Every structure is written in structure tokens, then in C-alpha cells.
Amino acid sequence: VFNEKGEIVGVATLMVSRTNQNAGVGLAVRADIARKSLALMLEKGKVDRPALGVMIIPLFGKANQRDRIFKENPSINTSIPNTYGLMISDKNKPSDPLPKGLKKWDTIIGINNVPTNNDVEFANELRKYKIGTSISINILRDKRFITVNDVPLKIFPVPTEQMYGRKSPVAIPTAPPTTQKSK
């Protein structure tokens, strides 16, 4: 994908079309993300992403989103703020406890005091940190602003076959051996 200056700004990844033509909705990965991912794949054979280790539900600052969350999660016994952010879901696996200081139904509104209004901003902010780094999470809990410090980032676990469509990571291309012809 190119911009008006002819610069690469994205890599087309998927086309959704009702016809067998190049018409419909095209999806792309931002060029900066693709460049970093390619470098990591060539270096390590895979791309590891930092994660908090929680399941999240995006909030959109709209009442109908809150109503939908209440309907789908009747166990909620707290108020959902009329705000943007990411609510920690109750869908976390029992084998994956929440990071210390975070509770289900907390609303994440920032990382290290940088506001994150949605899942895209949240992922972009997490990408700035290395796995194993500890960060601060800004949350809303029971109508109070709280900062939870020293939350370690984990590897975002994506099974290899789900990521690459096969059981082993991408094979790193190697140059063919050079041979000289004798006369």
C-alpha cells in the first residue's frame, strides 16, 4: 500500500470481496509493524509480542456497549464507566491468574500514564516495551483512578500453527551454494 508520495505505508494482507475481482474491502498491516516483524522473523524465526496476560473487552464510551457487556456477562457486580478503555474480562483461564493488583472488571485507561482508548492504541503502546519489562497500568475501579505498578509483560502466546499455518516457524531463506563451472 502506497501513499500519495509513493512511500510504502502498509502491506496488503487480505481482500474481502463478494466477487472474484479486486473490489471490496482490503486489509493491510502498517509498514512499520511489518518491517519490525520481518526483521524479527529473519533473526529468530518467529515474532513474540508483549502482553499483560488478561482478556479484554473494548469499551466505546457508549451505553449500548455497556448494556451488551452486562447482557453477556451477568456476573458483573460493578458499574461499567461511561468511558473509553478496555475492561478486564472474566474469561481468563484459571491457569493464568491476573497480574498482581489487577481485578476482573477493572477498566484499563492507560499504560505508564499514556492514555489508551481502545485495543489498537493499547497494542501499539505495549509494543514499545520488551517482554519481561514491568510497566504501570492506569485503571478505573469503582469510579476511582488507580495506578497499578510493576506489572510484568509476558509473551503473547500464539500457537505456531495458528500464526504460520504450520507446526514449525517460517523457514529462513538461505542463499544457494555457489559453484564455479570449469572450462
Whether 134 is in a domain gets the answer: yes
Q: How far apart are CA 29 and CA 27, in angstroms?
A: 7
Round to the nearest angstrom and report the end-to-end CA distance of the chain. Answer: 48
- Both 123 and 37 in a single domain? no
Q: Domain for residue 23, yes or no? A: yes
For the segment 73-90, the average pLDDT, to the nearest whole number, is: 73
- Domain-embedded: residue 183: no
DSSP SS3 for 134:
strand
Q: Report yes or no on 173 lying in a domain.
A: no
What local confidence, expressed as pLDDT, does residue 1 receive? 81
Main-chain dihedrals φ then ψ at residue 139, nearest 5 degrees: -130, 165
Neighbours of 106 (CB within 10 A): 22
pLDDT band per the 50, 70, 90 thresholds, residue 61: low
Q: Are 22 and 61 in a shared domain?
A: no
pLDDT at residue 125 is higher than 80: yes
The answer as to whether 181 is a domain residue is no
Higher pLDDT: 147 or 95? It is 147
Sequence-distant (6+) residues with CB within 8 A of 18 are 24
Q: What is the mean pLDDT of residues 19-44?
A: 77
Residues 6+ apart with CB under 8 A from 44: none
Residue spans of alpha helices (H) in 110-159: 119-126
The enclosing H or E element of 39 equals helix 31-44
What residue numbers bound the domain in which 64 lies?
50-155
Phi, psi dihedral angles at 38 (to 5 degrees)? -60, -45
* Cα dihedral value 32, 57, 131, 12, nearest 10: -20
Q: How many helices (DSSP H) and strands (DSSP E) are in the chain?
A: 4, 10
The arithmetic mean of pLDDT across residues 9-22, rounded, is 75
Query: Hey, is 14 helix, strand or coil?
Result: strand
> What's the domain count of the chain?
2
Stretch 119-139: mean pLDDT: 91
pLDDT digits (tens, 9 = 90+) for 145-174: 999 999 999 987 665 565 555 555 555 555
Distance CA 126, CA 69 (A): 25
